[in-house]
Amino acid sequence: MGADAAAEDVAAAAASAKRCIRSREMGEVPSHLKAERTLDLLEDDQPGRNEPEYTVSEISSAVKRAIEGEFGRVRIKGECGRVMVARSGHVYLDLKDDRAVLASIIWKGQAAKLAVQPEEGMEVVAIGKLTTFPGQSKYQMVIEDIRPAGVGALMAMLEKRKKLLESEGLFEPARKKRIPYLPEIIGVVTSPQGAVIRDILHRLRDRFPRKVLIWPVAVQGEGCAPQVTAAIEGFNAMTPGGALPRPDLIIVARGGGSIEDLWGFNEESVARAAAASDIPLISAVGHETDTTLIDYVSDVRAPTPTAAAEIAVPVRLDLLATVDNYGARMAQALSSNVGARKQRLADVSRALPRRDELTQIARQRFDIAGGRLDASLKAGTAAKRLAFEKAASPLRPTILARQTERMQARLAQAGGKLGVALERKSERSRARFDQISGRLTTKGIARDLGLQKDRLSRATRAASQAGTGQVRAWRDHMEKLDRLRETLGYQATLDRGYAVVWDGDTVVTDSKAAKKAASLDVQFKDARIPVGAAAKPAPKPKPPKAGQGSLFDD
């Protein structure tokens, strides 16, 4: 119904109200006023006047009943002017065209059920009933349902919301999260009765079976937006590893449809819930050509629900084939490496001399030395016997006897002097003892003991303090030296993953020293491990220098 028709209906309602008043002036009381007012009101008329007298409430009620009785339920098309949401939750707005304005109200309970919230400048079709508001002497419309008037209005509103969310940075690629490669649990927000959920489950089962949590929602109509918003927020509120585990990935899916069918996914609450989700989210709403606000704020947009399942998980058979391929390549590389090293060993071994050739010269030298051994032993024994005889020639018995007699005479002389010296030493010690014992009285001993005790106590305290200080100084010095040792020592370097190569007690620092070493040890941070004998060629025998003989030479 157009605004002109609505204005005509209001004018007709006003004419009906006038007819009711005129009938009362003529003594006819309408049936709906008989219960409130009777003809006894005419008794108070002033003389000379036949107009009945009404109160303000009575006339307001009469107008209200007339308008509501004339217009039970209407559909009005117009443009939303002023839109205001009161603290109580009621929505006050104006419906207008180029010539008139109709005040309207949407009660709180009804506003929460609307599929589309009115916005200023939106062309809508409102369904409700006309009534009056006596407090301001005006008539208004109580809206029960309101919808955009055509696709153009929806697209304009969608574009407005899109610009608002884009200005807040919700479409930025930098804020989008990375989809997990292989999620353990996938949460699906969709209708449990449609073909969408069956397609998703079938594709997941074919590619890589995963655990799926389904949050059933309405995918169109008035309950779509709040249910989808609650589902996304509910999945994010779950506890990881709880009785009902939190999903690693969310898929919001719906089949294709018109813009009106998909409008629930264009609501601002759904877009903001998807943008605020801590769990990566894939939007799969409609077919490939359908685009909604949730597609812009989601982390990944899938053209279809089936494609969303393909994005969510890889193909298990492809992964197995890839792993098998890597295993085959690794085995082939290992075999090739072992073969190359075996061939290298064979090539190197061919360049080494034979074992008999390595010991041939040493055996010849051994035979020569063995042949000279008998003659060398006889010559050495003769030389030693001659030296012994030369040393023993001065040692005759007569010489030893005379030397013994001289030593005995000197011993007897010294023994005679010893007795006299001991006697004199004893007399001097006895006299000194008597002199000292005369001074050792009881008082003197007590005084000397007290003095010695005090000196001993002072000396003990001083020694204790000095010892404690010295020990503390030594301990501090030792700790400093230990810290310096740990800082400068190689053990800290070993703790970082390095190793030390030893040749006995000598550190090997280059390859030349390693080749010369008889055996090598590698020291790690926790142990020292031998690595076997170092490979080195046998040294060639050096010819003796001129003029240098040998024990085995002739």
Q: What's the domain range around 507?
A: 491-533
Residue 486 lies in a domain: no
**Over residues 398-421, mean pLDDT:** 80
Residue 336 lies in a domain: no
Does the pLDDT of residue 538 top 70, yes or no? no
Are both 170 and 302 inside the same structural domain? yes
Residue 458 lies in a domain: no
Confidence of residue 554 (pLDDT cuts 50, 70, 90): very low
Are both 95 and 185 inside the same structural domain? no
Q: What is the CATH number of the domain that holds 91?
A: 2.40.50.140
The string of DSSP codes covering 424-477 is: HHHHHHHHHHHHHHHH--HHHHHHHHHHHHHHHHHHHHHHHHHHHHHHHHHHHH
Are both 121 and 196 inside the same structural domain? no
Of 108, 123, 149, which closes a domain? 149
451-481 pLDDT, tens digit per residue, is 888 888 888 888 888 888 888 888 888 888 8
Residue 116 lies in a domain: yes
Distance CA 501, CA 522 (A): 5
54-107 pLDDT, tens digit per residue, is 888 888 888 888 887 788 788 888 888 888 888 888 999 999 887 888 899 999
Are both 59 and 179 inside the same structural domain? no
Q: Could you give the angle at which helices 151-167 and 268-275 cross, rounded to 10 degrees? A: 30
Of 57, 64, 62, 94, the C-alpha closest to 79 is 94
Residue 43 lies in a domain: no
Residue 170 lies in a domain: yes
Are both 63 and 199 inside the same structural domain? no
Q: Looking at residue 29, what is its pLDDT? A: 45
Of these ranges, 23-27, 111-115, 281-285, 462-466, the one predicted with the greatest mean pLDDT is: 281-285
Are both 68 and 115 inside the same structural domain? yes
User: Under DSSP, is residue 224 helix (H, G, I), strand (E, B) or coil?
Assistant: helix
Residue 403 lies in a domain: no
Are both 174 and 130 inside the same structural domain? no
Of 314, 345, 375, which closes a domain? 314
Of 229, 250, 105, the C-alpha closest to 177 is 250
Q: What is the pTM of this model?
A: 0.43
Of 314, 330, 364, which closes a domain? 314
**Over residues 357-368, mean pLDDT:** 82
- Beta-bridge mates of residue 146: 126
**Over residues 17-36, mean pLDDT:** 46
Are both 198 and 283 inside the same structural domain? yes
Are both 197 and 304 inside the same structural domain? yes
Are both 186 and 125 inside the same structural domain? no
- Cβ-in-10-Å burial (0-12, 13-18, 19+) of 459 comes to exposed
Residue 235 lies in a domain: yes
Are both 112 and 184 inside the same structural domain? no
182-209 pLDDT, tens digit per residue, is 999 999 999 998 889 999 999 999 999 9
Q: What is the CATH number of the domain that holds 305?
A: 3.40.50.261
Indicate the number of domains in the chain: 3
Are both 121 and 261 inside the same structural domain? no
Contact 97, 90 (CB under 8 A): no
